[in-house]
Amino acid sequence: MFIEQSVARRRVVRLLFVAFGLLPCAALAGVAWWRQSVGHVAAVAREAAAQLGVSVTIDRVVHPRPGVMRLSGVVVGGVLVVPDMEVETTAAEVRLRVPVVDCAPAGARLLAGVAGEWLAHAARYPRSWVIDVGEVVWLTENERRISAGGWHIECVAADDARAVRLRREPATADEIRVRRGVDGLAVEATLEAGVPASIVAASTAGGEVWADMLGPRAVVRGTMQAVRRADGWTGQATGRVDGIDLTAAFPGGGRRMQGEATLAVTALEFASGRLDRCDLEIAAAGGMIAQDVLDGLVSSLGCRPGPAYRALAGDSVRRFERISCRALLDAAGLRLRSAAGPGSGIVTSEGLVVLEESPAPVPSTRLAWLLSPAGRPPVPASAASAWLISVLPAGDAF
């Protein structure tokens, strides 16, 4: 009898050991194996893709503590490569920590699209997002790298409004706020350190056209406040663009310029998606300008030939010492003046005035004439001229 009871006890102890010892260990081992498996990495990538609405691939997933994942070799949308990131998820929030990321225009376009989806679709994105990036490196043409420092990004919802805020770190004046509410989409931006024009353009609809006109090395600084409603954008901006490639302004039609220019925007106002008023200055110190560009400025924009309008040798392309032009656009039309003062001229060469300011305003849409190749001024024969016609004040006559 005692033997039978002892055997029964041993069986119970073994059963309890298996139930409470080996099985949990086996389960934990199975979970650990699964979390290191290709299937688990693919499952995390699928969930991330569903959250973002774009394709996501991941090389490796590690779980350092509950609720936290470390991801390596992340590629978002096929264009944005993130070497390492840490993801912490709660019921109300997703927090990302990224040591460094290289962002080309395609990556900026992708991120702007994801942010737009987050703002527009509350049901699909119920959580708030907080993203800390140690260093952002802008990648521009020819793999030129421009460090933009760290950025702190918040995507938060409050009542009927949702907002995205980007702030450069350590704390500076550089900040972008985008808010969606019942009154539309509102944007406030301050960029003092400067952002490549190609990056800014990639983050805005149709921006590639004007970015191409500025060239690959252009850098944008300034402020903007704008609201987008059903009829388009309304707002104002001021700022500066450095490193403009004059060759990019005339990509076709035989018109040529060489040199680097700066654009200073004192005031720029727009309403319902079109320009209302602008006051800006274009300056360049030395370069080359084709005679047909000068001819176009005279025939299209009403500038007057100066004493040195044509080269004595009849050269089709000539060197200039200075371009100093102030452009004023309002309801009366477009007028070009000398930014250096009366009598100084818009273009000078060898100490002589090549081109003088226009005596009277002309319709602003004549800018499209200047940029249209092959002698077809009224036709939007290039992407640049078509874009200009779409944003210049409506009602201007050709």
Rounded mean pLDDT, 236-259: 84
24: confidence class by pLDDT, cuts 50, 70, 90 = very low
Token pair, residue 118, equals 């987050």
31: confidence class by pLDDT, cuts 50, 70, 90 = very low
The angle, 0 to 180 degrees and rounded to 10, between the axes of the packed helices 207-214 and 383-391 is 120
Sequence length of the chain is 398
pLDDT at 18 over 50: no
pLDDT at 27 over 70: no
Q: What is the pLDDT of residues 103-120, one digit of tens each?
A: 999 999 999 999 999 998
Reference 44, options 87, 91, 83, 79; nearest CA is 87
d(CA 149, CA 133) in angstroms, rounded, equals 9
14: confidence class by pLDDT, cuts 50, 70, 90 = low
How far is CA 85 from each of CA 59, 68, 117, 161, 377, rounded to the nearest angstrom? 12, 11, 22, 29, 52
pLDDT at 16 over 50: no
Mean pLDDT over all residues of the chain? Answer: 85
Rounded mean pLDDT, 76-101: 94
pLDDT at 67 over 60: yes
Token pair, residue 235, equals 């707002």
Reference 147, options 155, 157, 156, 138; nearest CA is 138
Question: Could you tell me which residue, 163 or 207, shows the higher pLDDT?
Answer: 163
Q: Which of 10-24, 44-58, 110-124, 258-272 has the lowest mean pLDDT?
A: 10-24
Instruction: Report pLDDT for 8.
Output: 56
Contact 49, 55 (CB under 8 A): yes
SS3 assignment, position 213: helix
Instruction: Report pLDDT for 7.
Output: 54
> Residue 198, exposed/middle/buried by CB under 10 A (0-12, 13-18, 19+)?
buried
**Which residue, chain included where needed, has tokens 């319902």?**
272
d(CA 85, CA 48) in angstroms, rounded, equals 13
Give the residue extent of every domain in the chain.
Answer: 205-398
* Count of beta carbons in the 10 Å neighbourhood of residue 277: 15
Q: What is the pLDDT of residues 169-193, one digit of tens each?
A: 887 889 999 999 877 899 999 999 8
Contact 287, 318 (CB under 8 A): no
Reference 53, options 131, 104, 132, 112; nearest CA is 112
Instruction: Report pLDDT for 398.
Output: 47
d(CA 218, CA 194) in angstroms, rounded, equals 10
25: confidence class by pLDDT, cuts 50, 70, 90 = very low
Rg (CA), the chain: 30
d(CA 45, CA 58) in angstroms, rounded, equals 6
The model's pTM is 0.84
Instruction: Report pLDDT for 255.
Output: 62
Q: What is the pLDDT of residues 133-151, one digit of tens each?
A: 999 999 987 778 998 999 9
Per 3-state DSSP, the chain is made up of helix, strand and coil in percentages (nearest 5) of 30, 45, 25
* Count of beta carbons in the 10 Å neighbourhood of residue 338: 19
Instruction: Report pLDDT for 335.
Output: 94
Reference 99, options 111, 85, 88; nearest CA is 85
pLDDT at 377 over 70: no
pLDDT at 6 over 70: no
Instruction: Report pLDDT for 393.
Output: 85
Rounded mean pLDDT, 48-73: 91
> Residue 158, exposed/middle/buried by CB under 10 A (0-12, 13-18, 19+)?
exposed
d(CA 305, CA 311) in angstroms, rounded, equals 12
How much of the chain exceeds pLDDT 70, in percent?
Answer: 86
pLDDT at 287 over 60: yes
33: confidence class by pLDDT, cuts 50, 70, 90 = very low
